[in-house]
Structure 1
Amino acid sequence: MLEQSVRNGRRTSLTGLLLALGDRCLVLPNVAVAELIGYQVGTPAEQQPAWMLGWIDWRNQRLPLLSFEAACGGSVKVGERARIVVLNALGSSRQRFIALLVQGIPRSCKLDSQLNYVDVPLAPLELAAVQVGDQVAKVPDLPALERLLEDAGLV
């Protein structure tokens, strides 16, 4: 939820979520996340790419379940603390929600206009790396993730 701190008519901070993955941490504004649910194995899709973990049912909807690490060229990791974060799609496709595999419960954090960017290598679906407390977190390119689904013919 956006903080009501206002400077010159602008919001100066928002609440973010740190999403632990198998090999990195992502940071998103909390409004990007619709819900956190328990892990479930997806129903396989025909000829699905390695990053597509299948389809899951959520609130009477069929959602694609993705591995961000695999979509960035890494491997799929399903740990003992695996969960699924349901993301709000940004509207460029017909898909309203996307399910993303995470490793544990997201943590809340404050994000402000003074984010410290970190100069580290970025994967194809990452826009930036930022320092959040004592952790480096990657900012995912959500529109590119949606395009990945469209390009694969999954939505």
Structure 2
Amino acid sequence: MSESSFQSSRLTTLTGLLLPLSDRYLLLPNVAVAELIDYQDSTPEEGAPEWFLGPISWRQLTLPLLSFEAACGGRTKVGGRARIVVLNALGGRNELKFIALLTQGIPRSCKLDSQLSYVDVPLTELELAAVQVGETVARVPDLIGLEQWLVDAGLMHPAA
């Protein structure tokens, strides 16, 4: 392998995480995930949107726990393998550094390359694309859009 083809293949390979939800898989870049933690119950405030499951505690912070399924019009399920994925907020807001997302198991690492195949399936407002990852069709979530939903609903909690 020549040096230029090695560099080319090295630059087009990324590691992602497949997050199992109750009705779909999400594909996230590794850098989006801060930590996987055990599920903890939370109670939303009266009148909160269905996708807001309430505040949780993480590293002495209070984070908003969200259901991606409910945000996309589905139902929130808390299965026996439920976990919480703490995501790094990508929107650059000082008051929102992390958000928590309900997942139905342990995320799986996967290698992605520039040959990623897009899948033509209906997408919701918070999904940017659907791609084939091995045998799995995964949705690419609009994480900045999800953060904006938190802002619009007045559900941001200070990061400090």
SS where residue 83 of structure 2 aligns? strand
2:53 alignment counterpart: 53
Alignment partners' CA distance in 1, 2:85 and 2:37: 6
8 Å contact 1:36–1:84 — kept in the other structure?
Answer: yes
1:23 alignment counterpart: 23
The unaligned stretches of length 5 or more in structure 2 are 1-5
2:146 alignment counterpart: 145
Which digits, 9 at most, give the CA deviation of each residue in 1:83-142, with x for residues without a partner? 000000013432100000000000000011110000011111000000000010000001
What is the identity percentage for the equivalent residue pairs of Structure 1 and Structure 2? 71
1:101 alignment counterpart: 102
2:37 matched to 1:37?
yes
After TM superposition, list the pairs within 5 Å mapping 1:57-68 onto structure 2: 57-68=57-68
Q: How many residues align?
A: 150
Alignment partners' CA distance in 2, 1:45 and 1:57: 15
SS where residue 53 of structure 1 aligns? strand
8 Å contact 1:126–1:140 — kept in the other structure?
Answer: yes
Q: What is the TM-score when the length of structure 2 is the normalising length?
A: 0.90
After TM superposition, list the pairs within 5 Å mapping 1:120-131 onto structure 2: 120-131=121-132
8 Å contact 1:92–1:146 — kept in the other structure?
Answer: no
Q: Which has the higher helix share?
A: 2
Which digits, 9 at most, give the CA deviation of each residue in 1:3-61, with x for residues without a partner? xx6329x7211110000000000000111100000000114224211000000000010
2:83 alignment counterpart: 83
Q: How large is the Cα RMSD of the aligned pairs?
A: 1.4
**Residue type of the alignment partner of 2:56:** I
SS where residue 15 of structure 2 aligns? strand
The unaligned stretches of length 5 or more in structure 1 are none
SS where residue 70 of structure 1 aligns? helix
SS where residue 110 of structure 1 aligns? strand
Alignment partners' CA distance in 1, 2:7 and 2:60: 39
**Residue type of the alignment partner of 2:90:** L
Point out the structure with max Rg over C-alpha. Answer: 2
2:72 matched to 1:72?
yes
Which has the larger displacement, 89-98 or 127-136? 89-98
1:118 alignment counterpart: 119
Alignment partners' CA distance in 2, 1:121 and 1:11: 30
Alignment partners' CA distance in 2, 1:130 and 1:116: 6
